[in-house]
């Protein structure tokens, strides 16, 4: 009798193993995410995807801030995840050049991505004429401000750099730090401010020329940009604790509490701005960053990208997952709870259902950005359009400028030297035509 029971149990176990093996495991390495954010991904992506695609079983591994380094090592060894998740297009070109990524053109035709996704973002995912990446989210850097504080003092959001500097002087006189900012949690925050200065002073047209190799980074417009940014640092716009404050929650709290008046940062901060606005009882506003010309600047950025590893054990499953993410349903569910990180570049959002928790400010900002992109009225973020070594130097080198260890000219000379070397090696991301 016991033998029969053992046999029955063994058969049942084998059946369970067979059922598990019948599903193809799709692996995806993700960056850092809080427990609450992981639950959002589980509830709105993992479980619905597995239910809609019973052939596949999605497995997500949260790798934190070191994901880029880990990916490079894993892809070299040929044992990385199926879905390759990068910090932006600058990481895609060298991976594609090394043969580590699978061209997505056939999947784009199969799933209709060419018709569903904004064209400019498809072009940014191309390398040597082939599509290698789709952006998970598009974003901009601009100027959040404490509207409650502004109303109290009778201040209005600045429209030019001269107005910005005049307003910053008033804030300092009132004992208020002009910019809520820090890089304790993410050194890459440094380049947010370089991006804003380059677009606001040199302007998108000059940036386009430099990115295409038609103008050196040592040219006068870029010298003026870095000099002006340095003047903001020297005048105390960034406060006394930049290197010890986090760029995320602490910066958002500083602005929401009124200890700082403005926060130059990206649309990925909407979640924290809403959270700390409720905590501190204040209302936020958001505008395009002011420029020397007086026109608002909307530097275009891609926060992360999806690709498929060339050695993926299940590329079809990886493509099915990417297609699932690029849907109005996922856009609506993820942006309702995690604003700013899931602004998927779909052409048509009429079927995306958002909850009442989404702030009108976020909705209006995304509409403004979408219109700017469609009209070609956008600038360039360094993490999206610079090749990796150039971008890495920019992040580290700007600190040397701020701390008077190197001059603006030396910084730009090294930046240009690094860029020209990477451009020659074919590592510069695709630059869309204006």
Over the stretch 392-404, which tens digit does the pLDDT of each residue have?
999 999 999 999 9
Q: What mean pLDDT do residues 358-365 have?
A: 90
Predicted pLDDT of residue 10: 42
pLDDT higher than threshold 50 for residue 175: yes
Give the least confident one: 15-29, 134-148, 164-178.
Answer: 15-29
Task: Determine the pLDDT at residue 19.
Answer: 43
In a domain, 429, yes or no: no
Paired sense of beta strands 130-131 and 379-380, if any: unpaired
If asked whether residues 278 and 412 sit together in one domain, one would say: yes
Same-domain check for residues 104 and 26: yes
Tell me: pLDDT of 18 over 60: no
**Mean of the pLDDT values across residues 341-359?**
88
The reply to whether 79 and 173 lie within a common domain is no
If asked whether residues 85 and 193 sit together in one domain, one would say no
131 and 148 belong to one structural domain: no
Residue-averaged pLDDT of the chain:
92
179 phi and psi, to 5 degrees? Answer: -115, 125
Do 144 and 104 fall within a single domain?
no
Dist. CA 76–CA 101, nearest whole Å: 11
95 in a domain, yes or no?
yes
Mean pLDDT of 68-86: 93
Q: Is residue 144 part of a domain?
A: yes
| Per-residue model confidence (pLDDT) at position 22 | 55
Domain assignment present for 211: yes
List, for residues 113-146, the tens digit of each pLDDT value. Answer: 999 998 888 888 998 899 999 999 999 999 999 9
What pLDDT score does 5 carry?
39
Residue 430 lies in a domain: no
Are residues 378 and 296 in contact, defined by beta-carbon separation less than 8 angstroms?
no
Same domain, 144 and 114: no
Does residue 341 register a pLDDT over 80?
yes
Does a structural domain hold residue 86? yes
Q: Distance between CA atoms of 15 and 278, rounded to whole angstroms?
A: 52
- E-strand ranges in 257-344 read 260-266, 284-287, 299-308
pLDDT digits (tens, 9 = 90+) for 285-322: 999 999 998 989 899 999 899 999 999 999 999 999 99
- CATH number assigned to the domain comprising residue 16: 3.40.190.10
What is the predicted pLDDT for the residue at 166? 98
**Is 432 a member of any domain?**
no
- Residues 290 and 416 both lie in one domain: yes
Q: What is the pLDDT of residue 3?
A: 40
434 occurs within a structural domain = no
Q: Is the pLDDT of residue 204 over 80?
A: yes
Nearest to 312 by CA among 26, 63, 65: 26
**What mean pLDDT do residues 320-328 have?**
97
- How many domains, the chain? 2
Average pLDDT over residues 209-235: 98
290 and 411 in a single domain? The answer is: yes
> In Å, how far are 149, 224, 240, 300 from 142, measured between CA atoms?
18, 20, 22, 10
- Which among 374, 398, 416 is the end of a domain? 374
Rounded Cα–Cα distance for residues 27 and 386 (Å): 28
177 and 104 within one domain = no
Tallying the residues shown for the chain, one arrives at 434
SS3 state of residue 347: coil
- Give the mean pLDDT of 238-249: 97
Chain centroid offset of residue 351 CA: 24
| CA max distance for the chain | 90
Q: In terms of domains, do 226 and 267 share one?
A: yes
Domain extent for 112: 2-138+301-374
Residue that finishes a domain, picked among 374, 393, 416: 374
Residue 28 in tokens: 């995806």
Q: How far apart are CA 225 and CA 408, in angstroms?
A: 10
CA–CA separation, 321 vs 308, rounded Å? 10
Do 89 and 122 fall within a single domain? yes
| pLDDT the model gives residue 1 | 44
In angstroms, the CA 102 to CA 429 distance is 17
User: How confident is residue 23, by pLDDT bands cut at 50, 70 and 90?
Assistant: confident
Segment 65-92 shows an average pLDDT of: 90
Helix (H, G, I), strand (E, B) or coil at 314: coil
Q: Which of 357, 374, 391 is the last residue of a domain?
A: 374
């Amino acid at each position: 009798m016991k033998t029969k029971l053992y046999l029955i149990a063994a058969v049942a176990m084998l059946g369970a193993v067979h059922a598990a093996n019948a599903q193809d495991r799709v692996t995806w390495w993700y960056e850092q995410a809080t427990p609450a954010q992981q639950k959002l991904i589980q509830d709105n992506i993992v479980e619905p995807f597995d239910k809609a695609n019973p052939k596949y079983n999605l497995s997500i591994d949260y790798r934190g801030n070191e994901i880029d380094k880990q990916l490079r090592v894993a892809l070299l060894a040929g044992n990385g995840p199926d879905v390759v998740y990068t910090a932006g297009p600058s990481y895609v070109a060298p991976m594609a050049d090394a043969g580590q990524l699978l061209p997505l053109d056939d999947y784009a035709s199969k799933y209709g991505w060419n018709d569903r996704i904004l064209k400019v973002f498809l072009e940014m995912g191309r390398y040597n004429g082939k599509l290698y990446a789709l952006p998970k989210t598009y974003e901009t850097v601009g100027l959040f401000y404490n509207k409650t504080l502004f109303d109290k003092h009778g201040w209005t959001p600045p429209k030019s750099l001269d107005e910005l500097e005049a307003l910053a002087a008033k804030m300092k006189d009132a004992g208020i730090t002009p910019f809520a900012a820090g890089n304790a949690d993410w050194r890459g925050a440094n380049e947010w401010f370089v991006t804003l200065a380059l677009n606001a002073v040199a302007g998108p047209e000059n940036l386009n020329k430099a990115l295409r190799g038609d103008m050196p980074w040592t040219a006068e417009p870029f010298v003026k940009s870095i000099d002006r940014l340095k003047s903001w640092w020297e005048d105390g716009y960034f406060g006394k604790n930049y290197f010890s404050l986090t760029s995320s929650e602490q910066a958002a709290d500083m602005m929401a509490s009124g200890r700082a008046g403005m926060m130059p940062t990206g649309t990925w901060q909407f979640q924290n701005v809403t959270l700390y606005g409720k905590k501190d009882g204040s209302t936020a506003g958001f505008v395009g960053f002011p420029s020397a010309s007086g026109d608002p600047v909307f530097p275009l950025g891609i926060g992360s990208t999806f690709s498929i590893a060339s050695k993926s054990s299940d590329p079809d499953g990886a493509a099915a997952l990417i297609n699932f993410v690029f849907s109005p349903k996922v856009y609506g569910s993820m942006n309702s709870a995690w604003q700013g990180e899931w602004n998927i570049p779909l052409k048509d959002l009429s079927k995306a259902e958002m909850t009442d928790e989404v702030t009108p400010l976020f909705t209006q900002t995304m509409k403004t950005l979408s219109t700017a992109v469609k009209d070609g009225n956008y600038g360039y973020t360094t993490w999206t359009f610079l090749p990796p070594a150039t971008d890495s130097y920019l992040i580290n080198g700007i600190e040397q400028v701020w701390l008077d260890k190197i001059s603006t000219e030396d910084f730009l000379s090294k930046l240009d030297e690094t860029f020209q070397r990477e451009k020659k090696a074919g590592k510069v991301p695709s630059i869309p035509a204006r």
